Chain A
């Protein structure tokens, strides 16, 4: 199997997935959850089926920029602009009067604008800080070329994930594609996993390079990928099993989270096999030192 030889096809496949995402991010942006946009969110659960349109109509009377979306037959997700305490009390009392609300299965969240702003800056900062520290560690353990290839693969995964999220949230208008704190957590996990995966293959390359052999660098990298393939697929598969289980049974409020992890882990496995190590070969050709 020659993975490194067909590297351009694999790069192309990555590009084909990332490009629509980047276009969507650039022109449509994201569907921001209240964590980032500020506002109030009601996750309403009812004792019998209720149409989102009925809730929407009721909420429109309050004039609070409300949007109501169906979340399962007995559930409606309502998002509004930031409400005052008094407004919130009035709305809640009204909803409880007009609809068969089940408070013990409902949830509610409010995020003020200051906190939202901090989170946006914080989330971006976390990714940058984590990446820098990982580059430093890998530069010590391997060398800077390995470190940068690992970070490129990591960025690949971040772009795949955020791109798909932008498309889900803006093109398909799905609540799954909401950017919230849980999504950031998922993205950070994916980063950790992606690097984890890449390092295992890099470790093999490092080991094979140390042994005197007649193989070229390119052959060596390919051999290392093949040797690590069983491990890469097996490990990812076990995690994917767990995540598919989680995704199927998770309630609406965390479905997006498990889906993000699932996409990210699959992308992470792909990028460590088909992008990170072939990148080392490309670099070697451009700069054969």
Chain B
């Protein structure tokens, strides 16, 4: 086998690309005029306009590495008429909105299984997380009609609120928080006072339109002109209806401060939670603890890598140099893949990666042991290298495929923590096969072509006597 220039070019291109992505944070700092050390502003993003390519490039750290709170929520007691998975999706949307309106960066809210929701809040402790999630509340809109309040209504609402107007009773309009698609704090353009804008879905919009059209017919000041908003049992808003509201959105005004308007918006958003949400599991990691873990893992990785390289150099001599270069290339490519595809690195993920270094070395060890054997048997360097790679291949293939099978099972059936481990290990195994087979082989072929590199002592083998 000869040196394959196309393969060499491929290796070079991949190496340069990997180096570019690994060092992208520095390129980003330079292009955005930032100092090379210290905290970075913004997220390093690579934009290639004519390809329509835009990708954030940085290491996504899991909560165990950067500190924060991980919650697994469970939704129970789903109101009739809604399926559990619908309820879950509604809840995801609502929690997402609540988390975003609280302004926490890089938070994750996603459904998990049939009735679970995963919430990840970096840099947030459990107490804050509980406040963000808040209590689940149920919003209803009522109208006032002449009559006396019955016992059933008194069960549902605070008696004092329900009996606000003597001679009138609250009657449910059929509009509840489930029909609100969004609520947000806004500002009245005329008075500059804070208010709250709510948007309805089409059913809510129709009901609200008909309801307000009916209310406007009553004179101002008459309770029958009013619109009563209850959250859980309490009356939070009792406003006059000035005109019919049919656009699908409405504005609640009246004596808000910025904070109370914000609070009501959040409550209205949560008012449409279609069931009860409870915490099935929670993990909180302090920020310093996470940073310590990262430091230790990197130290262990660097230490492990150096020992492995030292060992390879001492034991395998010249091929050890090749293996070390291949190993560094391997680490560079794997890191680039983690960055480019936004793979979240967790502690278990780091362990998987460090373990895959061992497996990457293994492929080289297999090849070099075979190489030594072939050399001892008296083959020429080139032939021995070819035979070494060729005969080591089935073992490398079968052992790595069985590792990939394990990764596959872990990824598709494992808990989230185990998934992270499986991904990094699988990437590690995949890249290591490339580095061992393609890179090592090509480098060895280059060596075989160099006259000074032909001394057998460089390969840790004595010249065979019989040859």
- The interface of chain A, by Cβ under 8 A from chain B, is 43, 45, 85, 88-89, 92, 102-112, 114-115, 119, 122, 125-126, 129-130, 133-134, 137-138, 141, 181-182, 184-185, 188-189, 191-193, 195-197, 199-200, 203-204, 206-207, 227-228, 230-231, 234-235, 237-239, 241-242, 245-246, 249-251, 254, 257-258, 261
Contact = CB atoms under 8 A, between A and B. Distances in A.
Interface of B: 67, 72, 74, 125-127, 130, 278-289, 292-293, 296-297, 299-301, 303-304, 307-308, 311, 315, 347-348, 351-352, 354-355, 357-359, 361-362, 365-366, 369, 373, 391, 394-395, 398-403, 405-410, 413-415, 417-418, 421, 425
A200 B280 contact: no
Contacts of B357: 242
B359 to A, nearest CB: 7
A99 B357 CA distance: 42
A261 B405 contact: no
A108 B70 CA distance: 10
Contact of B286 (A105, A204, A230): A105
B220 to A, nearest CB: 45
A199 B362 CA distance: 13
Contact of B351 (A89, A110, A257): A257
Contacts, number: 205
Given A45-B289, A126-B410, A126-B413, A199 B399 contact: yes
Contacts of B358: 235, 238-239, 242
Contacts of B284: 107-109
Contact of B296 (A114, A133, A250): A250
B421 A185 contact: yes
A108 B361 contact: no
Contact of A134 (B67, B293, B406): B406
B403 A192 contact: yes
Contact of A130 (B304, B400, B409): B409
B282 A110 contact: yes
* Interface residues of B, dominant DSSP: helix
A175 B127 CA distance: 27
Most buried by A among B303, B315, B395: B395
A246 B384 CA distance: 37
Given A106-B286, A185-B417, A203-B395, A137 B402 contact: yes
Contact of A45 (B280, B286, B373, B400): B286
Given A182-B347, A188-B410, 15 more contacts: A103-B125, A107-B285, A109-B283, A112-B74, A112-B280, A119-B415, A126-B409, A130-B406, A130-B409, A193-B355, A196-B359, A197-B399, A204-B395, A239-B358, A245-B299
A95 to B, nearest CB: 13
Nearest to B357: A242
Contacts of A89: 127, 130
Contacts of A231: 362, 365-366, 369
Contact of A242 (B130, B354, B408): B354
A195 B415 CA distance: 23
Given A133-B405, A231-B369, A241 B355 contact: no
A245 B303 CA distance: 7
Contacts of B311: 234, 237-238, 241
Contacts of A238: 307-308, 311, 358, 361-362, 365
